[in-house]
Homo-oligomer: A and B are copies of this chain.
Amino acid sequence: MTAEIVSVGTELLLGQIVDTHAPTMARILADCGIGCRRRQTVGDNLDRLVEALDVALARADLVVTIGGLGPTQDDLTREGIAAALGEDLALDPDYEKTLREIFALRRFTWVESNIRQAMRPPSGRFLENPNGTAPGLLCEKGGKIVIALPGPRNEFNPMAEGVVREYLERVQGGKVIHSRTLRVCGLGESLVEEKVRHLMQGDNPSVAPYAHPAEVHLRLTASAGSVAEAEKLLDPMEAQIRQLLGNAIYGINDQTLESAVIDQLREANQSISLAESLTGGWLGMRLTSVPGASDVFRGGVISYTSDAKKELLGVSEETLRQFGPVSEVCAREMAIGCRERLDATIGVSLTGNAGPTSDTDGKPVGLVFLGIAQPNQVQVWDYRFRGSREDIRQRSTQIALVKLRECLLEVDPTS
């Protein structure tokens, strides 16, 4: 079975709102093993809506519309579906009664335009909307299915996840599409693809790479009769990829790099503290986004000034004068300083020039030093990042986590 989603609303075409419903619907379709090949978005315009529905019904078995079911004049989805199915809208007297009762119960003022919400194509039936007055629609005709859902989030979500998911599972009778994501850091997208290319020819399970800032995600997808069967198809594929990429895979599905690092620290009985200059607290914010970070995170210093570097981290006057705050020596002393003063086993420092304007003390925009102080060694790396101030700060934060992870892979947890 194939599906197509049609989102309806002029505000979508003006970019005034982001369409989060279509992805929700797409995930439900995927979970039910229904292939969604296309999405369309049209405004509150009857001709273009009917055209979109005609095209969608010609090439898909199931069409799901989102939005345009309210009582106002620009809510045209009911009319559009009726036209696409070659029918005329008719009043459903039972639902008119229900609707009038809802209005009376809530002491809302009844205006005549509300009657539109009780109209439906004769071949269809209403889907109950527990959080609103506009019901959904389900039409089965000529081997095609049309489902219409309302746009407000508190109405759409319960209906999509409830009555629609149940209906689709029943129609599909058992077939699922199930995905697993392997998250990779420290290797570029093209290099990752080169290593796994021979596995990307397969159809079931399939493998596809997606690039993220300083990360690559490999999505493995299998179609099967049940989630358990799909998992069985994915397991050997994951094992093969792990052989090819090894430690570069840091996590699975929704696991973030920061949570992987927190886990590593916990397992290795290590603790961490930070000294952040150009990132201003971003690395701390990422680490503390992980519930339970307090098991291993001792705190940090946002050492934005030379005084803060001296007073709170013990960076020497001499170092600042001779090498400046953006230097390997300063990064080294910052890492040692925060490790000692916050009583952690590992200290991490970031200092650099995030821009946007110009060189500072002869240090170009994008030059960043990362320091990691461990019990037996202190390492410092330097980078030249490009892009905006935000990009440079984001990449600095990301590379700190990547390098921290590499260092922790070398720590013997039994020592």
Contact = CB atoms under 8 A, between A and B. Distances in A.
Interface of A: 7, 10-20, 22-30, 36-45, 48, 52, 70-74, 108-109, 111, 113-114, 130-131, 152, 154, 158, 179, 188-191, 193-194, 197, 200, 208-213, 219, 274, 276, 278-285, 287-289, 291, 293-294, 297-305, 307-308, 311-312, 341-343, 355-357, 386-391, 393-394
Residue among A13, A48, A274, A394 facing the most chain B CB atoms (10 A cut-off):
A13
Contact of A386 (B40, B114, B130, B193): B130
A302 B301 contact: yes
B280 A293 contact: yes
A15 B284 CA distance: 30
A307 B271 CA distance: 14
A16 to B, nearest CB: 7
Nearest to A290: B389
Nearest to A181: B16
Contact of A26 (B14, B28, B39, B308): B14
A30 B14 contact: yes
Contact of A280 (B12, B288, B301, B386): B288
Given A27-B14, A36-B14, A391-B154, A297 B304 contact: yes
A274 B24 CA distance: 36
A395 to B, nearest CB: 9
B208 A74 contact: yes
B280 A73 contact: no
Nearest to A311: B341
11 contacts: A13-B39, A37-B43, A38-B42, A72-B190, A74-B209, A154-B388, A154-B390, A281-B302, A299-B312, A301-B301, A301-B312
DSSP class of A's interface residues: helix, strand, loop or mixed? mixed
A24 to B, nearest CB: 6
A156 to B, nearest CB: 12
A217 to B, nearest CB: 9
B387 A130 contact: yes
B72 A209 contact: yes
Given A7-B39, A152-B213, 17 more contacts: A12-B39, A14-B36, A16-B23, A16-B219, A19-B23, A71-B189, A71-B190, A131-B388, A152-B212, A276-B281, A280-B289, A285-B285, A291-B389, A298-B305, A299-B302, A301-B301, A312-B341
B16 A25 contact: no
A37 B14 contact: no
B190 A154 contact: no
Nearest to A55: B55
B15 A30 contact: yes
A104 to B, nearest CB: 13
Closest 3 CB pairs of A and B: A281-B281, A280-B288, A281-B284
A304 B288 contact: yes
Residue among A39, A131, A307 facing the most chain B CB atoms (10 A cut-off):
A39
A70 B192 CA distance: 13
A30 to B, nearest CB: 5
Contacts of A311: 341-342
A279 B286 CA distance: 10
Contacts of A390: 154, 289
A27 B10 CA distance: 12
Given A16-B23, A39-B13, A190 B281 contact: no
Given A27-B15, A109-B188, A300 B299 contact: no
A85 B213 CA distance: 32
A388 B197 CA distance: 39
B37 A13 contact: yes
